[in-house]
Amino acid sequence: MQDVNGVPARPGPRRTRPLIVAGAEPFFYAAGPTGCLLLHGLSSSPFTMRELGRQLADRGITVAAPLLAGHGTSPEDLRTKTWADWVISAEQGLAQLRAHGCRRIYLAGLSLGGALSLYLAGRDPEAYAGLVVMSAPVWLPAVLRAPLTAMSEALPYFAKLGSDIADPAARARQLTYDRVPLATGATIIDLLAEVRAGLGRITIPALIIYARRDHLVHPMNSMHIYSAIASREKRLCVLHRGYHIVTVDYDKARVFQLATDFMQPPA
């Protein structure tokens, strides 16, 4: 390797970056001038959003699905990240859409990604064309933050019991961590406090989707989102067959139809 003057360059210090698990990579589907930012859930990856992304791109919507910081690599990597790092990841996806020429942008997120979408919409109420929120939490008891932080050194992780997906074939394909850092729970509590503070500022059209049999995020979260946002155009949709990860479960076809119809570019 040579530098700009033709002199052999000295190798610099090697930076080690966590390797992304195969299948968990971020993706970008270029299509029309309407864009959508797709954000995945906690301990997951863009894998859960890929099929929805293809459906949107087939309908002429450009899609960016970034890999949230600390995800798709290792639980040890996730332990070093805060909700502010996840916001930066989301902003990188938005920058991709804008660089492609998208001026009409929708936010769409699953679980943690839904909470981040709500945060972005509350922070910049006029910046987006609409919002699709799937299985999103807005409540975690603030009293848990101190004990989670205190315990995180002695007990850094808690084990996951698998993915909350009813379809066994989809559950077997799911890419996720087998454990989650306790420190991550503390930073999610901080994020959700910011999300709740901004709900009343959200005025853009909103589609809120939840599964009746979600074992991770109680349906009351979605009902609270629906009642708290100030959007005049808003819709609350319930799914009856699947569980938490609605983009890969039994009702995914309905989710895709609802989302693509909601974001359909103007004729």
* Three-class HEC string of 67-108: CCCCCCCCHHHHHCCCHHHHHHHHHHHHHHHHHCCCCEEEEE
135 Rama class: left (phi>0) / alpha (psi -120 to 50) / beta:
left
**Catalytic residue of the set 164, 167, 214, 251:** 214
CB-facing half-sphere around the CA of 248: CA atoms within 13 A = 26
**Catalytic residue of the set 43, 44, 89, 111:** 111
Is 214 catalytic? The answer is yes
Task: Give the Cα separation of 141 and 216 in Å (integer).
Answer: 14
Is 218 catalytic? The answer is no
Task: Give the Cα separation of 72 and 54 in Å (integer).
Answer: 20
**Catalytic residue of the set 40, 71, 224, 244:** 244
Q: In this structure, are residues 65 and 26 in contact, taking their beta carbons and an 8 Å threshold?
A: yes
Distant-in-sequence, close-in-space partners of 80: CB < 8 Å, separation ≥ 6: 70
Task: Give the Cα separation of 247 and 135 in Å (integer).
Answer: 10
Is 44 catalytic? The answer is no
> Catalytic positions, please?
111, 214, 244
